[in-house]
Amino acid sequence: MSDTETMQVVYRSDYRPPTFWIDHVELEFDLDPHNAIVTTKITVRRNTDQPSRTLELVGEQLKLLSVSVDGVALNDDEYTASSDLLVLNDLPARCEVQTKVAISPVTNKALSGLYQTSGNFCTQCEAVGFRRITYFLDRPDVMARYQVTIRGDKSTCPVMLSNGNRIASQDLGDGRHEVVWEDPHVKPCYLFALVAGNLKCHRGSFTTASGRDVALEIWVEPQNIDKCQHALVSLQKSMKWDEDVFGLEYDLDVYMIVAVNDFNMGAMENKGLNVFNSKYVLASPETATDDDYLLIEAVIAHEYFHNWTGNRVTCRDWFQLTLKEGLTVFRDEQFTADQTSAAVKRIDDVAGLRAGQFAEDSGPMAHPIRPESYISMDNFYTSTVYRKGAQIIRMYHTLLGQDGFRRGMDLYFRRHDGCAVTCDDFRQAMADANDTNFDLFDRWYSQAGTPELFVTSAWDESAGRLTLSMRQSYPDLAGDLPGTKDRKPVPLPIRVGLLDAESGAELSQYNDVLLLETESADFQFEGLDRQPIASVLRDFSAPVRLRMQRSDDELAFLMAHDTDAFNRWDAGQTLATGMLLKMAQQAADGQPLDEPKLFSDAFAKILTDDSVDEAFKALAITLPRESVLGQEMDVIDPDAIHTAREFFRRSVAGSHRDQLTALHQSLAADGPYSNDQQSINRRRLKNVVLAYLVSLDTPETDQIAADQFSGADNMTDQQAALAILANSNAEQRIAALDEFHRRYHGDPLVLDKWFAVQASSSRAGALSEVRRLSGHSGFTIDNPNRVRSLLGVFSVNQSVFHQADGKGYELLGDYVLLIQSGNPQLASRLVSAFNSYRRFDTGRQELMLRQLKRIASEPNLCKDVHEIVQRALK
Ligand code: 0A1
Ligand code: ZN
């Protein structure tokens, strides 16, 4: 930590409007890798509600060169300045403040502010990176118009971009040139962007519903120019979807996306100039998998949707982050559901929510979707704020329907366009537009933890009545965590259906969304001929853990018949989970393991069911992740879980070996690569089936994977085969890894895959492989994607990371310490892997604590890591 950087805690309750507003910003950049000069002119206006003559502009690691007010240079005694703060006293009610600072992009390894990536200049300002560029009121409620002048070398920076429209350019005659950009929309500084360097453009266009032509530009390094078409089409689809579904049009003449290799997150929605991690732009069938294609489309959509939910209406303060993120994730989820299959999309999302957000919500980083305090805001770009936030938005949608939700959105924009607002403002717009009251929803914004929903059913034969008794509560969380005191019941929309217990037919008149707003309530279904089977929490209509006593037979019945695809899948997962946990106990006790007969039978039925597509089949036969199984144990036993899950998979594969072999063969007989939805679904199923086959550990099944690896004409099949081989004892394993490396080591995104498949392997010796790979010439801590593909993937590989001797913890601890001084954000994501330590046995707890304490005692620890570690140790 720098001398002046303090570990100050920021509280939501401390919000005060600024003492000055900034109406206009004029920025001038004289680009230089070591010594970029930034001249800033801001027109400020005193906020009469907060009468003060003092303007405090924040900075971070800035070198101040000069400061003037209304054109008059200030003497040293007329202001106080440090690298992090510039204080101007006795300012008039309106004036122009000019500052000049020097910064060093090339040494900026934090990837926040102005930095260099692959020799190009690039900025990242959310949440608080703008202060690393110039002294400013770096807070989202200060919205201004911007004009930006960029001067740079013509040879190294032929392209110079910023937000809005290019209004002028000129040759400066000395090998340098200048471009001027103007953004007509007001924006907070976190949406500012500048990109300059040697980039090529893939162009397209879009005509809006009202007939305006928008130029679409995707800027990439020259060697990637052939990998942009999918991103372009994704953008066009997103623009059309937002018009069709929400009536929202784009509002500038140009929409630019720039792909960069070094980026801490997925992408950034800067006004008119998105900056993307190249992973979410570049695609060709030879280098990107079907999942990559899908993610690119989703991230492009997400950033595009921010133009309204985030940019036109932004957050008053950073505690409101879910206002834009929860809403925009919900919008991108709906978009993907409309492009692909709603059921499969919902299942994928919920599986991700359970694996990531549920775990976060039960550990030391548990926080409400609208946090109460932070030390580093960057630590709160969490799955709670994003993914759980999206589930809260989904509940309004479930209760109001699409039309009611749209009315709420329309009112939200009517009221708040061009403003910085709060989550309460959103909730109020939803309620007012629909003449309803959402006051109780406030609890979802202020309480942390995942509610549990207990459901019991009672059948009254003589009355023909089924009663579902529901009760909600929060599990206790260790420690004194924010948002966990005096928690009250939250409103839960619970979608329920009934199935005839004999035919499995849907009793459609009983389909309903029940609303549980109190701690408990009974819901009755009358007029039934015989006892039905209830399907509860369909489509995962509320983000809770469903606790419902159901027999294995009932679960198998739902897995076979439920008309709600989500619950059909979930019944299978619940069935498998119960059996796996029992097996894990047997493994821990050194007993022989039961054969998973019931699941195995259901498995075979799903595979031959013509009523569902291949993507659904793939999901239905995929076993719950080890980490998700761990969440269901009092004390997580990673070895027992791993043994049980491997045994389960092998046993199911063994029972259906011929069927699986034939299925793989028929799926593999598809013609050359095509990216239509059916082909994508078939590849998905093929590769899950392949993993089952290779689990049998026979030369014949290994050969199927090796053949797929060498014969693949696309990255999906090739990477899947490689990952499966990397996780096996196949004799072809090393040759396949070597071949893949030989072929792709020059392509960073594909090389990431090579690291990732090895980091996700759980074969014996996997941990020393990861340690060895961290010394590989292709590994570098300067590229976040590379770090995530090796160390990030390894840290969620439960049985390997939690190896009982603590060597996995040591490896992660080493790298957290190595990375934290250069890139705090990246290090704090990594260190979060220790957050679950209380959930393990005392031996592992002890070893994880050792690493946490070792990191905590680092004398120059960055505040991002400090905050995570201190919360864990509390
Ligand atoms: N707003 C972006 C995510 C983002 C957040 C922070 C960043 O740097 C610290 C970068 C990107 C989004 O939701 O896509
Ligand atoms: Zn976002």
Residue count of the chain: 874
Query: Which residue, judged by its Cα, is nearest atom 9 of ligand 1?
Result: 126
Ligand nearest to the CA of 381: 1
Take residue 868 and report the two structure tokens written for it.
């995570």
294 contacts: CB under 8 Å, gap ≥ 6:
336, 340
Ligand nearest to the CA of 829: 1
Query: Which residue, judged by its Cα, is nearest atom 11 of ligand 1?
Result: 268
Give the separation between CA 795 and CA 790, rounded to whole angstroms: 9
| Segment 434-490, tens digit of pLDDT | 999 999 999 999 999 999 999 999 999 999 999 999 999 999 887 788 889 999 999
Can you state the percent helix, strand and coil of the chain, rounding each to 5?
45, 20, 35
How many beta carbons lie within 10 A of that of residue 536, not counting itself? 24
How many angstroms separate the alpha carbon of residue 632 from the centre of ligand 2?
Answer: 30
pLDDT at 394: 99
Segment (H or E) for 44: strand 36-46
Residue that has been written with the tokens 């004999």 in this structure: 502
How many beta carbons lie within 10 A of that of residue 735, not counting itself? 14
Give SS3 for 321: helix
Which atom of ligand 1 has the smallest separation from the CA of 299? 14
Query: Which residue, judged by its Cα, is nearest atom 1 of ligand 1?
Result: 268
Average pLDDT, the chain: 97
Q: Which of 381, 383, 386 maximizes ligand 1 atoms within 8 Å of its Cβ, making it the mutation to test the pocket?
A: 381
Residues 65, 71, 72, 74, Cα dihedral to 10°: -30
Percent of the chain with pLDDT over 90: 97
93 contacts: CB under 8 Å, gap ≥ 6:
45, 46
Which atom of ligand 1 has the smallest separation from the CA of 263? 10
Q: How confident is the model at residue 2 (pLDDT cuts 50, 70, 90)?
A: very low
Ligand nearest to the CA of 332: 2
State yes or no: pLDDT of 838 exceeds 60: yes
Largest interatomic CA distance in the chain: 95
How many angstroms separate the alpha carbon of residue 849 from the centre of ligand 2?
Answer: 33
Which atom of ligand 1 has the smallest separation from the CA of 825? 9
Segment (H or E) for 116: strand 113-117
Query: Which residue, judged by its Cα, is nearest atom 12 of ligand 1?
Result: 268
Closest CA to 409 of 387, 441, 386, 432: 432
Q: Which CA distances in Å does 628 have to 90, 241, 392?
A: 58, 34, 22
Closest CA to 495 of 542, 450, 455: 542
750 neighbors 224 (Cβ within 8 angstroms): no
One-letter amino acid of 153: D
Closest CA to 755 of 783, 731, 778, 727: 778
Residue that has been written with the tokens 């070597």 in this structure: 738
423 contacts: CB under 8 Å, gap ≥ 6:
320, 322, 323, 370, 445
672 neighbors 713 (Cβ within 8 angstroms): yes
How many angstroms separate the alpha carbon of residue 421 from the centre of ligand 1?
Answer: 19
| HSE-CB of 542 using CA atoms within 13 angstroms | 26
Beta-bridged to residue 82, according to DSSP, are 85
pLDDT at 77: 81
With vertex at residue 365, the alpha carbon angle to CA 362 and CA 369, rounded to the nearest 5 degrees, is 85
Query: How high is the ipTM of this complex?
Result: 0.99
State yes or no: pLDDT of 696 exceeds 70: yes
How many angstroms separate the alpha carbon of residue 362 from the centre of ligand 2?
Answer: 24
For CA atoms 804, 652, 654, 582, give the dihedral sign: positive
How many angstroms separate the alpha carbon of residue 265 from the centre of ligand 1?
Answer: 6
Which atom of ligand 1 has the smallest separation from the CA of 267? 14
Residues 845, 851, 852, 853, Cα dihedral to 10°: 110
Give SS3 for 777: coil
Tally: H helices and E strands in the chain:
29, 31
How many angstroms separate the alpha carbon of residue 238 from the centre of ligand 2?
Answer: 15
pLDDT at 1: 46
How many beta carbons lie within 10 A of that of residue 551, not counting itself? 10
29 neighbors 36 (Cβ within 8 angstroms): yes
Give the pairing type, strands 79-82 and 85-88.
Answer: antiparallel
Segment (H or E) for 771: helix 766-773
789 contacts: CB under 8 Å, gap ≥ 6:
752, 753, 755, 756, 759
Ligand nearest to the CA of 275: 1
Take residue 312 and report the two structure tokens written for it.
């036109």
Ligand 1 site, CB within 6 A: 124, 126, 264-269, 302-303, 325, 378, 381, 825
Q: Provide mean pLDDT across the span 810-816.
A: 98
How many angstroms separate the alpha carbon of residue 817 from the centre of ligand 2?
Answer: 29
Which atom of ligand 1 has the smallest separation from the CA of 324? 13
Query: Which residue, judged by its Cα, is nearest atom 4 of ligand 1?
Result: 268
Query: Would residue 303 show up in a list of annotated catalytic residues for this protein?
Result: yes
For the range 435-440, what are the long-range contacts, defined as Cβ-Cβ under 8 Å and sequence gap of 24 or more? 436/400, 438/396, 438/491, 440/490, 440/491, 440/517
Q: Provide mean pLDDT across the span 611-628.
A: 98
- What secondary structure letter does DSSP report for 266? S
Q: Which of 126, 191, 383 maximizes ligand 1 atoms within 8 Å of its Cβ, making it the mutation to test the pocket?
A: 126
369 neighbors 446 (Cβ within 8 angstroms): no
Take residue 281 and report the two structure tokens written for it.
């732009």
Q: Is the peptide bond before 127 cis (omega within 30 degrees of 0)?
A: yes
| HSE-CB of 527 using CA atoms within 13 angstroms | 3
| Segment 727-785, tens digit of pLDDT | 999 999 999 999 999 999 999 999 999 999 999 999 999 999 999 999 999 999 999 99
Take residue 311 and report the two structure tokens written for it.
């940019």
Query: Which residue, judged by its Cα, is nearest atom 3 of ligand 1?
Result: 268
Which atom of ligand 1 has the smallest separation from the CA of 303? 14
pLDDT at 764: 96
Query: Which residue, judged by its Cα, is nearest atom 5 of ligand 1?
Result: 126
Label residues 298-332 b or e (16+ Cβ within 10 Å = b). bbbbbbbbbbbbbbbbbbbbbbbbbbbbbbbbbbb
pLDDT at 477: 83
pLDDT at 482: 86
pLDDT at 3: 41
How many angstroms separate the alpha carbon of residue 328 from the centre of ligand 2?
Answer: 6
How many angstroms separate the alpha carbon of residue 785 from the centre of ligand 2?
Answer: 19
Task: For the chain, state the CA radius of gyration.
Answer: 28
Instruction: Give me the sheet containing 512-516, strands edge to edge.
Output: 512-516, 492-499, 533-536
Closest CA to 484 of 365, 598, 394: 365
Query: Which residue, judged by its Cα, is nearest atom 8 of ligand 1?
Result: 126
Rounded to 5 degrees, what are φ and ψ at 508? Answer: -65, -25
- Of the candidates 26, 297, 303, 867, the residue annotated as catalytic is 303
Give the separation between CA 802 and CA 848, rounded to whole angstroms: 9
Ligand nearest to the CA of 112: 1
How many angstroms separate the alpha carbon of residue 263 from the centre of ligand 2?
Answer: 15
Q: Which CA distances in Å does 491 have to 392, 440, 471, 567?
A: 10, 7, 12, 21
726 contacts: CB under 8 Å, gap ≥ 6:
733, 736, 737, 757, 758, 760, 761, 763
| Segment 818-832, tens digit of pLDDT | 999 999 999 999 999
How many angstroms separate the alpha carbon of residue 132 from the centre of ligand 2?
Answer: 21
835 contacts: CB under 8 Å, gap ≥ 6:
360, 363, 364, 365, 868, 871, 872
State yes or no: pLDDT of 393 exceeds 80: yes
Ligand nearest to the CA of 274: 1
Label residues 628-657 b or e (16+ Cβ within 10 Å = b). bbbbebeebbbebbbbbbbbbbebbbebbb
Q: Which CA distances in Å does 130 have to 56, 61, 310, 383?
A: 15, 11, 17, 24
Q: Which of 265, 276, 374 maximizes ligand 1 atoms within 8 Å of its Cβ, making it the mutation to test the pocket?
A: 265
Which atom of ligand 1 has the smallest separation from the CA of 386? 13
Closest CA to 575 of 615, 530, 612, 605: 605
Give the DSSP per-residue string, 7-24. -PPEEGGG----SEEEEE
Beta-bridged to residue 468, according to DSSP, are 457, 523
pLDDT at 78: 86
pLDDT at 5: 53
State yes or no: pLDDT of 4 exceeds 50: no
Which atom of ligand 1 has the smallest separation from the CA of 302? 14
Give the separation between CA 756 and CA 117, rounded to whole angstroms: 22
6 neighbors 862 (Cβ within 8 angstroms): no
136 neighbors 58 (Cβ within 8 angstroms): yes
